[in-house]
Amino acid sequence: MMKRDDCLKALARHITDADIVLPVYSTAFDWIAIRPHPLNYLSHGAMGLASSHGLGLALGRPDKRVIVLDGDGSLLMNLGTLVTIGEVAPPNLFHFVCENGCYEANGGHPIPGRAAVDFAGFARAAGYRAVHAFSDLKIFEQQIGAILAEPGPIFIDLKIESSGPQERDYSRIHGAQAREAFREALMSGR
Amino acid sequence: MQQHAGAEGHGLVGSRIIGEITASGIEFVVSVPDITTSEGLLRPLAQLKTPRLIRVCKEDEGIGICAGLAYCGRRALLLIQHTGLLDSINAIRGVAVEYSLPICMMVGLLQKEPDVAPRRSKRYGVRIVEPILEAMDVPYHEIEGDADIPKIRSAIEDAYAGSHPVVLLIGRRPS
């Protein structure tokens, strides 16, 4: 098992100023603390839709890498997205799931199928070009740079510890300021 | 809130609707199949290179995809059935309404009787569509006859100009 913070720090070392990153829920707060950037796309509007927003961004901006940092509870709410992404097959989409086995933002309750669900297996069967699963931080650190250099869509399952129930201020995530900053950064070509 | 009564009687020509869609600058059609629009719209759209058809598994996925495209300045149309609209209410609430995004939806009214206003349909699922959209402050337009087809382009242009969602209700099967 890995700690989410450690994984995100390792990932952040390979993210460029041109990349779009879509982190969800608790991961979003950790990510914007590690890597604040206007091309962080924080407002997904409804649970489970981050990867769908990501697919739209990947189609709309094929010149940019789009990095989705999904949650396991979120992904369970929109499993069809795996099939859609598998069919559309955008080469610039990288879909991570932070698998901690619980709804961390909603009280820490376990997800259905905890420890039995095979997210990487779902993605493989749905047609992602490549699928990876990591539970060892050192191996993840060694391989993530090369994975992000490959054509997508690629699915990366990160087996992480739960950080425990979280109380966060979501007004920053859902606020108009974050969306406007993203829009301006994207349109200005950053 | 805008509301328009459908024209009576004159049927709908699918090719004219598709012409309005393309003239509106729509580059992507995102769809879950709907029997009302299956033959007259979706099947011919699937043959076109532009707009590009993206087939999705569930309608709320399409809300997210259209949102991502909107941020990129790319126009999209979500082509679904009214049951899918009802299933996607939370996504429409959160993404389209609360974030003020131009999510354009073309919605087939499954089993609505021709020339009957949606809220006068015998079908409960059809009757509730317009009141729900009004409660959500989502503008909509009835597309019942060929005289209504020019509404499509102006509704899409208005949605993008004002950055707000719009729903185009297809009241009968286009030819």
- Mean pLDDT of each 10-residue bin along chain A, 190 residues long: 96 97 94 95 94 98 98 97 98 97 88 94 98 98 98 98 79 86 87
pLDDT at B39: 97
Asked if the model's pLDDT at residue B6 lies above 50, the reply is: no
Q: Measured between beta carbons, which residues in chain B are less than 8 angstroms from residue A54?
A: 68
pLDDT at A123: 98
B120 and chain A in contact, CB less than 8 A: no
| pLDDT band, residue B3 (cuts 50/70/90) | very low
- Over range B78-104, report the average pLDDT: 98
| pLDDT band, residue B10 (cuts 50/70/90) | low
B33 and chain A in contact, CB less than 8 A: no
pTM of the predicted model over 0.90: yes
CA distance A80 to A52: 10
| Contact: B55, A57; criterion CB under 8 Å | no
Q: Which residue of B has its CA nearest to A46?
A: B91
A60 and chain B in contact, CB less than 8 A: yes
Which of A45, A88, A179 has the CB atom closest to B54's CB atom?
Answer: A88
Q: Measured between beta carbons, which residues in chain A are less than 8 angstroms from residue B70?
A: 56
